Structure 1
Amino acid sequence: MTKNEIELAPNAALLVIDVQKGFDDASYWGPRNNPQAEANIAALMDAWRETGRPVVLVRHASRTAGSVLAADHPGHAFKDFVADRAGQESLLITKAVNSSFYGTPDLADWLTAQGIGQLVVTGIQTNMCVETTARMAGNLGYEVLVPLDATHTFDLAAGPAGPSLTADQLATATAVNLQGGGFARVVTTAELLGA
């Protein structure tokens, strides 16, 4: 194996984080990046199902009043392409914070019980729940792969008078943070599908 090749474990887990209808509300979130994210996530879900590898679906249940991701809001539901593939997942986690490791049931306990040491982390938002989960997974000793093109995020400002970054700038920062910081290896969907 060369330095750039990817070797996927037979039980590598695919985490699909917060791919929920509420994120389609542009009036709530603002401009997004990577319009191919959903197609890439779907392709990875299909590949994982075909190879019998475990898929973990994570859903955010916001506690913030009026959130489009609140459990009682229609936006809490998975996007159709995920819902259409649901039932094949090995685990469904509900969380109310950024890290998928702070949800129910406990992700780390399940991974340990299954003997899983390699994670592929996808979903929404790149710089929030995806990055937080990948960082924590790296800290916990998992081998973490993040196909950045199977994630997306939104433009973000630090407040009315604060600095702002575009979604693409935030995704680039996430890639630098994860790979440069030694938390995860940033890859592409095509590289994973070819592994």
Structure 2
Amino acid sequence: MPFKKLHPHLKERLTSLEINIPTPFQSKSIPVIKSGTNVFCTAPKDGGKTSTLVLTTLHKLKCEEVGNAPRAIVLVANNEKALETNDAFLPYTRFTDLRVYLCDEKSHIDVLKSEIFEGVDILIGTPKTVNKLLLLEGLPTSQLKIFNIDDAEFLVDNASYTALVAITQSIQKCQFVIYSEKMHPILKRFESTFMEYAKTVTI
């Protein structure tokens, strides 16, 4: 049972949210992601991909604040998706000291840099914004443990694809997990770069 082997805080929150039975995708994907390997995760819409992303990320970070540099990044298509993903974390980060930071594209890059400098555990943003932060040395990556890409179909956009490639070149060692509805050919390209030796979980 995937939920039984999660961090005690997450099990407690799942119980309080009356979520007792994992989806087929969660049953299959959570143990693989927890193993620490790179993973391609494909499942239909509403199959439990975003909730799996939230649970495995928080489990990886042991549901606690550590240091100032981000230990997890969640890459999304746009600001609207970033807000949705941020909201998905809220029920599970309640009663913890974890710092989830939303990189609002509407904010000036210097504002984002200064706020990240104050201390962040999980950073949510678009490829464009995250890459810009890296170029301006406003995003330390030395402490990164997990890098998620949610609804990765948006990477067919050339600008997003190029920004992601640049971002991954700035990361030395990290687990990468890509979530999508289908295994798009453009995602397969990453097997020769940062997704080398990746496992695939499909529902």
TM-score normalised by the shorter chain: which range applies?
Answer: 0.3 to 0.5
Greater fraction strand: 1
Question: TM-score under structure 2 normalisation?
Answer: 0.44
